[in-house]
Structure formats: C-alpha cells, structure tokens
Amino acid sequence: MSLCGRGYNLAVCEEDDLRGRIVLAGLACLVLVTLGRAQDAGGGGAVKVIEISAKKYEFSPSEIRVKKGERVQLKVHSVDVTHGVKIEVYPEGQKDKSAPGLKFAEPDQNGKVQKNVDQVIDFVAVEAGTYEIKCAKLCGMGHGRMKAKLIVEE
C-alpha cells in the first residue's frame, strides 16, 4: 500500500520508486547471470555416456562422435596394464588458443591416471572439430601410437 499521492512529498515518492526499480533490476541481473552459468556448465541436458576400453596399444572405439553442445562422460577402463586418457582441448588445426573447444567439469581429471581405477572424464563439447585422444601413462614400446579421435559435429 503506497502512501504517495496522499499528501506526501512527491520527491520522496519518486526516490522510493527509483530504489524499487534499481533493486528489481539487480535481482533480474542476478537471475540471468545464474542461469547463464548453469548453461555454460552444461546444466540441463542429458549426459551421453561413452565407455572406452584401453589396452596395449589401442583404444576401443578408436573414433568417438558427439554433437556440439552435448554433455559427455567418458568412462575409460584399462584391460591389461594401467592406461589413461588425455584429450587435447583444442581441435586439430585451431590457431587461436584463447578458448578451448572442450569444457571439462573437472579439468584435473583430463590425463589423471590411477592404478586399478577406471578414469571418468566429464565435459561439454563447445566447438566442432577433431580432438586427439592419447594415452596418458607410459605403457610400453607402442605408447606413442596409442591414440583415438573425438569428433565433435555441428
């Protein structure tokens, strides 16, 4: 219930109205920023779970396809010795390194290897392109050729 218009000073009423509008605008900005962060983190969509087997000196599957904007969870299981996955964050041929094409939920999990523990990597495929996947743990003479590809399609 407003007292403005019932003999109160018009300047005071206008000041109160301005304060109310500023508070409302601030709340609206806060809501938009919060929603934007949730979308950037990949909130809201279903997660595409992909299981990968790692064994000397190959990944299976050796080619993985996902859609741009898709939330992905890679589950890597080592069949023989300890292996791990390291995914290049920039697509092949990208010269601009200011913004990665893959956004990891936990960046420290990319390339992390623990003996007898399956590796789980969660990310959002932000940019289309081909990303190199390689073994993150020296596993023998063929280690350097143990690679796969992640293809992010439009």
pLDDT in tens, 8-66: 555 555 666 667 666 555 555 554 544 444 444 445 579 999 999 999 899 999 999 99
Question: What pLDDT is attached to residue 35?
Answer: 46
Instruction: Please give the average per-residue pLDDT across 80-96, as a whole number.
Output: 90
Question: What pLDDT is attached to residue 17?
Answer: 66
Please, how many CA atoms are within 13 Å of residue 125, restricted to the half-sphere of its CB? Answer: 24
In whole angstroms, give the CA distance from residue 133 to residue 116: 20
Residue percentage of the chain with pLDDT more than 70: 72
Confidence bin at 154 (pLDDT 50/70/90): very high
Question: What pLDDT is attached to residue 19?
Answer: 72
Choose between 31 and 113: higher pLDDT. Answer: 113
Which DSSP category does 46 fall into?
P
* Cβ–Cβ < 8 Å for 59, 52: yes
Question: What pLDDT is attached to residue 111?
Answer: 85
Q: Look over the chain and give the mean of its residue pLDDT values, rounded to a whole number.
A: 81
Question: What pLDDT is attached to residue 14?
Answer: 64
CA distances (Å), origin 44, targets 88, 91, 100: 25, 25, 21
For the question of whether the overall pTM of this predicted structure is more than 0.85, the answer is: no
Question: What pLDDT is attached to residue 112?
Answer: 83
Give the neighbor-by-neighbor strand order of the sheet with 58-60.
Answer: 58-60, 47-55, 71-78, 119-125, 102-104
In whole angstroms, give the CA distance from residue 41 to residue 71: 9
Sign of CA dihedral 118, 121, 54, 140: negative
Task: Please determine, for residue 121, whether its predicted confidence score (pLDDT) is greater than 60.
Answer: yes
